[in-house]
Structure 1
Amino acid sequence: MTHIAVLGSTNMDLIAYVAKAPQRGETVTGREFRTLPGGKGANQAVAAARAGADNVSMIGAVGADAFGTQLRSTLEHSGVDTDLLRTVDTAATGTAHIVVDDEGGNAIIVIPGANGTLTALAPGDEGLIASADTLLLQLEIPVEGVLAAAQAARRHGVRTILTPAPAQPLPPELLAATDLLVPNEHEAAALTGITEPRAAAKALLAQVPEVVVTLGARGSLYAARGAEPVLVEAPQVTAVDTTGAGDTFVGTLAVALAEGRSVPKALAWASTAAALSVQRPGAAASMPYRSEIDTAANGAAS
C-alpha cells in the first residue's frame, strides 16, 4: 500500500495561449483562453493518484468561492482525499495567470490567496503525515508551513520530497528535514549560484542526501552522497504545453519510489509520465494515468 501525503498549493490556472509571449509594454492577441485546475500541491497530488498510489491525501486551503469548489471536486474526482483541504473565509482561492506560447513554453504569475494562510499545521495534519510513506512539499505556500510539515515528517520517519519552486533561499532547518530535493536546472542554479547541473547537484549534496535535477527534454540527473551522478534521458516528444510537467514528474516519481523501484527505473517512469503530459494542454488536466504511463514506457523499452 502506497500512501502519498501532499502539503501545498491549490490554484485555478487562468491560461492564455499565444503565438509569442508579449514583452514589457506590448499587447498581443491570443488564440485561446482556458480555466483549468492547478497549483503545485494539487498538481502533484493528482499526478500521484493517477500514477496509481493506493492513497493520496491533500493538505491545503481554498477560498469559499466557485474556484475553491471546483478545485475540491477535481481532486476528489482524481481520487485524492480532501478531508484536510480546508475552506477559509478570509481569502479567495489562489490563482495562477499563465501565458503559453506556440513552442510550449510558459510564464506564470501566482497569486496565493488562501494558500497564504498555510503558515502552520492544523489539527489532524501531523497525524495524516505520520500515516504516509512520503510527503510532497513545494514553495507556493508560506515557508513556515512547509518547514512545520517537513519537521513533522522527520519526527515520524516519513520520506520528504521537496520541490524548491518558486526558487527562493531555503532555511537550513528545512533542508535538514528534506530527504530528496527536486529542483529544475534553473532552480538548482538559483540555490547554488552554479549553472552546470552536475556541479550544482554536487553542491546541494552538502545540504541534502539526495538530489534530482530535472533537465526538461534532456531528462533528469540523480545525485546522492558517495555515488556517481546518474543521467536518465527523457522520451523525445513535441511539446504542446509544459505547464505542470515538473509536478507530473515529482508525483509519479514519489509513487515509483514508494513502490520500491530502483532510482533509474523510477526516474525513467516519471520522465515518461512528464513526456505524456507536455503533449496535452493544462496542468492537472494533462496528467496521464498509470495505464498510459506503463503503455508508453513499455513501448519505449521494446
Structure 2
Amino acid sequence: MSVTQARIAVLGSANMDLVAYARVAPRRGETVTGESFRTVPGGKGANQAIAAARAGGAVAMIGAVGEDDFGARMRAALAEAGVGTDRLRTVPGPSGIAQITVDGAGHNAIVVVPGANGTVTKLTSDDEAAIGAAGALLLQLELPLEGVLAGARAARERGVRTVLTPAPARPLPGELLAAVDLLVPNEHEAAALSGESDPRAAATALLEAVPEVVVTLGEAGCLYAARGHEPLAVPALAADVVDTTAAGDTFVGALAVALGEGRAPADALGWATAASALSVERAGASSSMPHRAAIDARAAAGHPRA
C-alpha cells in the first residue's frame, strides 16, 4: 500500500554544535580533561528538519545562518539530508552555536549562543508560502518569540497543523498556545508550563491551552493526551545509550512524519519512540538521526525497556 509523503515546514534554529565528551562533566569552577571533541550541525530546528527528512518527509527549512564557515557547513548538511534550504537565509555575522558537554553516561549540558538565529523576527511572503504548502509546521523556542509567533499565525491562517516543542522552556503567551495543535514538551518543560510535577497531571493541565500534548519522559517513554480521550502511555525501547543529544528532536521529526502519513496516535508514537531509541545509540545531534528503513526495523523488533 502506498503512503502519502508527509509535507513538513520547520521554522527554527540552525546551530553548529561544539561537542566535548568527558567521563565526568565539570562542576562550577572545575576543569576536567575531555576524551574527544566534534563539531556537528545542529540546532533544534535543523535537527527536527533532518530527522523528518531521514524519516521520509518532504521538508522545507525556514531560518538563518551567518556568513561564516559554520553557516556554509550547516546549509550543506541540511541539503545532504534532503531538506529544502531555499528559505534558509544567510545574514551578516556569525552563525548560531551550541556548546555541549556529554558525560560518560550519555547525558548532556548545553549553552546556546543564537547568532544568526536571533535575526529571524518576521517572515517574508515566500516563507509564509512555504508554510502554507506544508501539512505541518514544526516550531521550537530557539528563535526570537516574534518569529515563532509569526510562524504560528501563518500556519493557523492557512489551516496548517502546528507542532511546538517548548524548549528552551519559558512562559508562553496565550496567542502562541492558541495557535498550537500539538505541544511536545519533555517532563521538565511540562512541569514548568503547567505547575504540575506529575507528567499525567501536567498533560491534563496543558490540555486547557492546546488540543493535544505529548510529554516525552526519556527512559520512561512518552505520554499522549488529547481532549476527550484517556491518556496513552507508550514505553521507551531498550537502547545502549551513547549520547542523548537531540533524541527529543529525532522523536518530534519522526512523529510529524508518521502523523502526516495519517497514522493513528499510538502507531505514530511507537514509531517515533523507535527513532529516538536509535538516535541515542550514536554520538552527536544530526549525525545520530536514523533513516526510515532503520526506524521501521527497530519499530518492528520492539523490545520495550524493562
Normalising by structure 1, we get a TM-score of 0.98
Shift of 1:234: 1.0
2:172 corresponds to which residue? 170
What is the CA–CA distance in structure 2 between the aligned matches of 1:185 and 1:236, rounded to whole Å? 19
Paired with 1:9 and 1:193, the residues of 2 have a C-alpha distance of 27
Q: Which residue does the alignment assign to 2:27?
A: 23
What's the counterpart of residue 151 of structure 1? 153
Looking at structure 1, the residues matched to 63 and 249 of structure 2 have their Cα atoms a distance apart, in angstroms, of 16
Task: Give the gaps of 5 or more residues in structure 1.
Answer: none
Q: Does 1:65 pair with 2:76?
A: no
Aligned length: 300
Partner of 2:104: 102
SS at match of 1:280: coil
Residue 47 in structure 1 maps to residue 51 in structure 2: yes
TM-superposed CA distance for 1:52, in Å, is 0.5
Question: Cα offset for 1:124?
Answer: 0.4
Matching residue of 2:210:
208
Query: Which residue of 2 is the match for residue 135 of structure 1?
Result: 137
Q: Which amino acid aligns with 2:135?
A: D
1:244 partnered with 2:246: yes
Offset from partner CA, 1:148-185 (integer Å, 9 cap, x none): 10011000100000000000000100000000000000
The one-letter amino acid of 1:201's match is: A
User: Partner of 1:21: helix, strand, or coil?
Assistant: coil
AA partner of residue 15 (structure 1): V
TM-score computed with the length of structure 2 as normaliser: 0.97
Opposite residue 45 of structure 1, the aligned amino acid is A
Residue of 124, 134, 137 corresponding to 1:122 = 124
The alignment status of 1:87 with 2:90, answered yes or no, reads yes
Q: Which amino acid in the other structure matches residue 282 of structure 1?
A: G
User: What is the CA-CA distance between 1:75 and the residue it aligns to?
Assistant: 0.2
Q: Distance in 2 between matches of 1:275 and 1:60?
A: 28
1:275 is aligned with what amino acid?
A: A
Compute the displacement of 1:253 (Å): 0.1
Encode CA deviations 1:131-163: one digit per residue, 9 max, x unaligned: 100000000000110011001100010000000
- Which residue is equivalent to 2:302? 300
What SS does the corresponding residue of 1:132 show, helix, strand or coil? coil
Q: Distance in 1 between matches of 2:31 and 2:192?
A: 30
Q: How far apart are residue 236 of structure 1 and its match?
A: 1.4
Partner residue in 2 for 1:281: 283
Q: Shift in Å at residue 203 of structure 1?
A: 0.6
1:201-228 per-residue CA deviation (whole Å, 9 max, x = no partner) reads 0110000000000000110100011111
The residue that corresponds to 1:264 in the other structure is 266
| Counterpart in the other structure of 2:10 | 6
Partner Cα separation in structure 1 for residue 24 and residue 122 of structure 2: 40
Taking the aligned partners of 1:249 and 1:298, their CA distance within structure 2 comes to 17
2: CA distance between counterparts of 1:129 and 1:182? 19
How high is the sequence identity, in percent, across the aligned residues? 65
User: 4+ residue runs of structure 1 moved beyond 6 angstroms?
Assistant: none
SS at match of 1:97: strand
C-alpha distance in structure 2 between counterparts of 1:199 and 1:296, whole Å = 31
Aligned amino acid, residue 82 of structure 2: G
Question: What amino acid is aligned across from residue 124 of structure 1 in structure 2?
Answer: D
Q: Deviations over 1:243-287 (max 9, x none)?
A: 000000000000000001010110000000000000000000000
Report the RMSD for the aligned CA atoms in angstroms.
1.0
Residue number in structure 1 paired with 2:40:
36
- Residue 189 of structure 1 aligns with which residue? 191
- Find the aligned partners of 1:283 and 1:224 in 2 and give their Cα distance: 30
Task: Give distance in 2, aligned partners of 1:122 and 1:93.
Answer: 20
Distance across 2 between alignment mates of 1:143 and 1:202: 25
Aligned-partner SS, 1:146: helix
Separation of aligned partners in 2, 1:286 and 1:111 = 22
